Amino acid sequence: MIKDKKILIVGAGGFIGGHLVNRLLRDGNSIVATDIKPKEYWFQDFDNAENYYATDMKDISNCRKVATGVDYVFNMACNMGGMGFIENNKAECMLSVLINTNLLIACNENKVQRYFFSSSACAYNETMQQDVFIKGLKEEDAYPAQPQDGYGWEKLFSERMCRHFQEDYGLEVRVARYHNIYGPFGTYDGGREKAPAALSRKVAQSKINKTNNIEVWGDGKQTRTFLYVDDCIEGTLKLFESEYSDPVNIGSDEQVSINQMIEIIEEISNVDTLKREYQLDKPKGVRGRSSNNDLAKKVLNWSYELSLKDGLTKTYNWIYFELKKDKSNINPFTKS
């Protein structure tokens, strides 16, 4: 367990970043938390952290300032969202390369002991993801390179940047390829939400509004694996404390179709089967994607614990009660 360290978390106002801040504070660490979002739009905010609100880490002067005197750095920041966002904002996604580049420079200058980069399954070769219910993608399947345009290329390039900073400058790096992380305290509307949150919201809205239909992007047959955020944090810390510096999948192997996920959420919400309205013109991403976790089991002695149904139950219930609250104030950072 990481304890009594001064740790910089970039993207701390976001979904995974907020959960990570919470965990590392509970474990007895001193946290420097930064995010480009103003204070009122952080997903989680902790008074006992040293918080830098509305701080753009694409500016290297900000990176140098917050990296001074810290032991470890976790880079959880990037401009991203669900498929609807990343397919229509490729340039914005690519600009996140500046965050990683400037942070690595600042960490090297400040003699930071260890650096973590949050990569993505979007870094994998798309030609291997053209069918549903594919075999789990192994870490070596990222090459030959043909990742998702924009967001995936930024992640793959940033992985290489981390590798070369370790080779050339001796900065210890750890890289996780996240596979569809979901859970409470995340985006569930506005255009950046991912499938578990979007579908939970749609089913919850149907229940609240007493309707019997749900809109589905694509034909509902596309498949993915999804990992609950608490398992993600545990896997992340296992990786960070390991001696393994190459990219590692952090995901589950419980592969389901979008239609199957809807059925699970319907059961959780106790609603009758909803009429599916398939929107074939919406962004769908690759046809199938699954995580092979053999390497994580071998080098980290880690595997996920929470089943998809149990994780969706926690996620759905949180979103349902959020929707029941007064929504007079719209959060623009669900869209940015």
Angle, CA 304 vertex, CA 315 and CA 192 arms, to 5°: 40
Token pair listed for 325: 């609250």
Residue-level pLDDT at 329: 43
Query: Can the peptide bond before residue 144 be classed as cis, meaning omega within 30 degrees of 0?
Result: yes
Q: Which of 131, 262, 275, 134 is nearest to 196 (CA)?
A: 262
pTM: 0.94
SS3 label, residue 175: strand
Residue matched to tokens 């919201």: 201
Q: How far is CA 21 from CA 117, 225, 307, in A?
A: 15, 25, 24
In the CATH scheme, what is the homologous superfamily, with its name and number, of domain 6-179+229-250?
NAD(P)-binding Rossmann-like Domain (3.40.50.720)
Q: What is the C-alpha to C-alpha distance for residues 34 and 51, in angstroms, rounded to an integer?
A: 6
- Whether 151 sits among the annotated catalytic residues: the reply is yes
Per the residue annotation, which of 72, 115, 151, 182 is the catalytic one? 151
Query: What percentage of the chain exceeds 70 in pLDDT?
Result: 96
In this model, does residue 228 exceed pLDDT 80? yes
**pLDDT given for residue 325 in this prediction:** 86
Task: Give the count of beta carbons closer than 10 Å to the beta carbon of residue 42.
Answer: 21
Tens of pLDDT, residue by residue over 249-264, are 999 999 999 999 999 9
Please provide the average confidence, as pLDDT, over all residues in the chain: 94
DSSP 216-278: EETTS--EE--EEHHHHHHHHHHHHHSS--S-EEE-----EEHHHHHHHHHHHHT-PPPEEEE
* Beta carbons of 68 and 110 less than 8 angstroms apart: yes
pLDDT in tens, 110-127: 999 999 999 999 999 999
Which residues partner with 34 through β-bridges?
A: 10, 52
**Ramachandran bin of 316, using left for φ above 0, alpha for ψ from -120 to 50, beta for the remaining angles:** alpha
260-282: pLDDT as tens digits: 999 999 999 999 999 999 999 98
